[in-house]
């Protein structure tokens, strides 16, 4: 077992109340990390009260993961663990998180703007937070593991790696994936992709409508789509829902960089950025964003800032 993980386990043992948080606008990696860790703690430690906090994801918490938990305790000492995020202001449940008696962070995002935690394990070389957790959990020979832990971790790795496809996916990602399939005794298509990985007809229609709105600058290879709140309403999606579709367009060869921008609060836009090879994180960081070299995001931008971000990306 890794040294860092041994320290984390010591803290888990110490506290009865444990809150597990992750980033806002959850995805499979964030939720997979949360629910796998909760399941694993309940499986291996007696008498723990573990809460996975945050808003439910429209689809994933309905079809694949349990519902997120409401915290029903007050005036109790508790441990808070954040997964797939390393900045307080990006945590879904920031206020509660900050009240914890001890904090732990396990993440794979760029660590340069990370806040400080009691224990921090950030490895930005890993494709998913679930890969880090899986490395930890699979190395704990004396601990139990079950079908759900494996399935949730696999889903997270699959989600962030574009189904074992992106550049940061390596031999270890496949090894871990194979071990999870073996130990969890599930089928990746029947028990995962077929449940949450397929596109509904409605979603596909939205994707097509968004596609028609994409502006593509041939010279730089930058493509983008911007939706204000009334356009989002017309499309029938939330800001998060529209930005999430970026993955579909990231497969288009000509789009070297793609930007999705959606108005989530009056006058404020949230952007997602995907790149095929150019490092975009340094540019995005200038606007207060974060993430990974080829996949990152930024929020609280005015429309002028969105436009200036796009023109900076064109210069790369």
**Where does this chain bind Mn ion (CB under 5 A)?**
29, 84, 129, 160
The residues near 190 (Cβ < 8 Å, ≥ 6 apart) are none
Q: In terms of C-beta density within 10 A (0-12 exposed, 13-18 middle, 19 or more buried), how is residue 111 classed?
A: middle
Closest separation between CB of residue 234 and Mn ion, Å? Answer: 30
Phi, psi of 114, rounded to the nearest 5 degrees: -65, 145
Is 35 or 78 the residue whose CB approaches Mn ion more closely?
35
Work out the angle between the directed axes of helices 147-160 and 28-44 (0-180°, nearest 10). 160
Closest separation between CB of residue 130 and Mn ion, Å? Answer: 8
Closest separation between CB of residue 176 and Mn ion, Å? Answer: 14
Q: Does the CA dihedral 100-64-40-164 come out positive or negative? A: negative
Beta bridge partner(s), residue 227: 262
Closest separation between CB of residue 108 and Mn ion, Å? Answer: 6
Is 25 or 44 the residue whose CB approaches Mn ion more closely?
25
Closest separation between CB of residue 29 and Mn ion, Å? Answer: 3
- Specify the DSSP class assigned to residue 109: S
The residues near 236 (Cβ < 8 Å, ≥ 6 apart) are 202, 206
Select the residue whose beta carbon is closest to Mn ion and give its number: 29
Closest separation between CB of residue 107 and Mn ion, Å? Answer: 8
Is 133 or 310 the residue whose CB approaches Mn ion more closely?
133
Is 15 or 35 the residue whose CB approaches Mn ion more closely?
35
- Specify the DSSP class assigned to residue 149: H
Token couple for 63: 């079809």
Closest separation between CB of residue 128 and Mn ion, Å? Answer: 5
Is 155 or 301 the residue whose CB approaches Mn ion more closely?
155
267 near 259, Cβ under 8 Å?
no
Beta bridge partner(s), residue 215: 224
Is 29 or 110 the residue whose CB approaches Mn ion more closely?
29
The residues near 246 (Cβ < 8 Å, ≥ 6 apart) are 258, 260, 272, 274
Closest separation between CB of residue 160 and Mn ion, Å? Answer: 4
Complete DSSP assignment for 187-232: -TIIIIIIIIISPPHHHHHHHHHHHHH-EEETTTTEEEEEE-HHHH
290-291 and 257-265 as β-strands: parallel, antiparallel, unpaired? unpaired
Three-state SS for 62?
Answer: helix
Closest separation between CB of residue 141 and Mn ion, Å? Answer: 26
Is 221 or 297 the residue whose CB approaches Mn ion more closely?
297
Is 29 or 92 the residue whose CB approaches Mn ion more closely?
29
Is 221 or 291 the residue whose CB approaches Mn ion more closely?
291
2 near 135, Cβ under 8 Å?
yes
């Amino acid at each position: 077992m890794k040294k860092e993980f041994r320290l984390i386990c010591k803290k888990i043992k110490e506290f009865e109340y444990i809150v597990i948080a992750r980033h806002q606008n959850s995805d499979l990696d964030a939720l997979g990390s949360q629910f796998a860790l909760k399941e694993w703690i309940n499986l291996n430690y007696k008498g723990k009260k573990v809460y996975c906090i945050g808003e439910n994801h429209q689809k994933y918490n309905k079809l694949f993961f349990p519902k997120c938990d409401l915290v029903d305790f007050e005036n109790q000492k508790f441990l808070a663990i954040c997964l797939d995020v390393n900045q307080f202001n990006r945590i879904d449940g920031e206020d509660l998180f900050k009240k914890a008696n001890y904090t732990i962070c396990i993440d794979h995002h760029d660590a340069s703007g990370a806040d400080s935690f009691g224990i921090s394990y950030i490895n930005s070389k890993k494709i998913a937070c679930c890969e880090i957790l899986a490395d930890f959990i699979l190395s704990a020979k004396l601990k139990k593991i079950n079908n759900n832990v494996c399935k949730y971790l696999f889903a997270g790795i699959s989600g962030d790696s574009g189904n074992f496809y992106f550049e940061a996916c390596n031999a270890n990602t496949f090894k871990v994936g194979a071990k999870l399939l073996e130990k969890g005794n599930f089928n990746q298509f029947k028990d995962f992709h077929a449940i949450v990985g397929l596109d509904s007809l409605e979603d596909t229609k939205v994707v097509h409508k968004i596609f028609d709105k994409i502006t593509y600058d041939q010279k730089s290879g930058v493509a983008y789509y911007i939706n204000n709140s009334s356009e989002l309403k017309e499309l029938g999606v939330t800001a998060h829902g529209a930005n999430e579709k970026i993955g579909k367009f990231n497969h288009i060869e000509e789009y070297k960089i793609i930007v999705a921008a959606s108005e989530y609060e009056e006058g404020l836009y949230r952007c997602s950025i995907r790149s095929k090879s150019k490092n975009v994180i340094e540019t995005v960081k200038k606007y207060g964003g974060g993430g990974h070299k080829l996949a990152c995001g930024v929020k609280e931008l005015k429309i002028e800032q969105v436009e200036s971000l796009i023109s900076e990306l064109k210069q790369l």
